[in-house]
Every structure is written in structure tokens, then in C-alpha cells.
Amino acid sequence: MTWHITSDVSAFAEYAGPFLRSSPVRHTVLLTVTASLLSKGPHVYGESDPILGWWTDDRTDEVSGALLQTPPYPLTLTEVPPEAVPEAVAALSSHRPAAVNMLVRDIPAFTAAWTAQHGGTVHTGLQTRLFELAELTPPDPLPPGAARLATPADRALLIDWFRSFHEYIGEKPNDVEASVDDRMSHGGVALWETDGAPVSMAVYTRPEAGMVRVQYVWTPPEHRRQGFAGAATTAATRNALDAGATDVVLFTDLANPTSNALYPRLGYRPIEDRAVVEFSR
């Protein structure tokens, strides 16, 4: 069994792509990030080269795990065979990512191998839950207003809302303006509007292997607790389904009880829990 580590996006897509597409729900992030790296270049998320890898059986060449990092963002590790978890630490010894996003169940094995090799301290940061749509159940009743797609006239507002979202979750985005333009280019921003003004948004990715991920669900503080986020998420989900998506997914922050209660009411079911583990140098 072997980890293959590279910065060659095309090679990663060739060897790990079939494995990622075999379970597009669980591999949602790696699928969408790989697609962006292929279409926009290896430095779309930052100046550093991406770190890419896949775990194979040396006898059959079957891929049963993958990892990906676009610095400065955390490395993301898929579900892998148990023996691949500590081996990932050894395979990444020359890269030493500062943080890794992994299944909660894999944290003990990974951190034990990490501290044995590098020392230092370990801190568990953001904890998330992956949800998959089972059957869309719109809020009843819906709040006042109606859904619509964002237009170029909304660009300045969306830039402000994207920045507010990233600030709220503690991220420093690479290029908010480009992110907004990219989402709008494929009609990927659903707005809920009331009294002629947008009050909430839900963003969604391009389809990859039939999967679409809802993200950036944001309602400004002055419009919260009125049901607008649920309405915007419903609109984004319906748009994805109407466009042919076979799987619609989203992540929640486990520290946010509001979102973790909302999405099951809309028809989403939990799939797996993940956490970002941060390492001292």
C-alpha cells in the first residue's frame, strides 16, 4: 500500500478521479476543488503549488483514498483504510501542513503519528457535519417574498455578503470578487427577496459527477430569525435539482445549533462528521 504525492493536477485527476467520482457526496470538496484547479490553473486558490495524493494497493493499483491541499487552506483527507492514516503523515513529511480536515474517527491515529514524528501540540478547530438531501421539504409557510437568481446588479451586495460570511466563519478568502463572479457565471447564487430587496442568499457549485454543494448561506443580522435562510436554501436546492443534480449536499458548523436544526427540516440527512485539526510547528 502506498501514498502517491504530487503537485500535478492532471495526474491526480487521472488516477484519483475515478475514486472521487465513485462517491461524489463524500468527496464533494475534492471534486469541486480539482475541477477548479483543472479549469483555472493550479494557483487559483493561492500562490503555492497544490499538494495532491492518492492511496493505492500496490498489487492491484486500486485507489481507496485521496488527499488534497491548496495552501494556505487545510489539507483535506478522504475516508481511507485505517493503515493509510498514519502513512499519510510519513508521506507528507516534506510538506507538513499546518491543519488537516479529516473524519473525526481518524483524528486519534493521525495525531498520534504526527506528534510521534514532529512533536508539537495539536488543537481541534472547526467541526463540521456533511448533509445530503433526501427529499426537499420546503418551509411551510414560506416567509414573505420570493426567490430569484442574482444578477450583475447584485454584484456589490454579494461581494459584501461573501466577505461577511468569510469573516463570520473565520476564513480569509483569496479573491472575493473573483469568487462572486465565478458563482454568478453559472447562475449559482439564489437570493430571497422581500419588499424589493434581497434579505438572504444561498450559493451552489457547478455539478460534478451529478453532485452540487450548497454553500455560503448568509442572512445579514438584521434579517435573521424570519425564515429567510431556509427559503434561500430551498431555492438553491430546487435550482440544483432542476438543473439535473442527482445529489445535493451541504456542510454545517457543529457549533451552530440553528443551521444544524434547519437543514434536517428541509429534508437533508447527516452523512459524516469532520474536524479541522491544527498542528503547531
Instruction: Return d(Cα 220, Cα 85) in angstroms, integer.
Output: 40
Task: Taking the CA atoms of 102, 104, 109 and 113 in sequence, report the sign of the dihedral they define.
Answer: positive
Please list the ranges in the chain whose pLDDT falls under 70: 281
Task: Report the Cα 238 to chain-centroid distance in Å.
Answer: 19
Residue 182 pLDDT: 95
Contact 193, 148 (CB under 8 A): yes
Q: Which DSSP symbol is given to 61?
A: -
In sequence order, what are the residues at sequence separation of 6 or more whose Cβ sits closer than 8 angstroms to the Cβ of residue 9? 34, 37, 38, 42, 50, 52
Q: Which DSSP symbol is given to 207?
A: P
Contact 33, 43 (CB under 8 A): no
Residue 10 pLDDT: 98
Task: Report the Cα 110 to chain-centroid distance in Å.
Answer: 21
- Residue-wise pLDDT for 148-172, tens only, equals 999 999 999 999 999 999 998 888 7
> Angle at Cα 232 formed by Cα 173 and Cα 239, nearest 5°?
95
Alpha helices in the chain, H assignment, sequence order: 9-21, 28-40, 84-91, 107-118, 155-169, 176-185, 228-242, 257-265
Residue 11 pLDDT: 98
Residue 280 pLDDT: 86
Task: Report the Cα 129 to chain-centroid distance in Å.
Answer: 11
What CATH number was assigned to the domain covering residues 133-271? Answer: 3.40.630.30
Residue 214 pLDDT: 98
**Alpha carbon separation from 17 to 20, 22, 65, 227 (Å, rounded):** 5, 9, 11, 39
Strand-pair partners of 279: 122
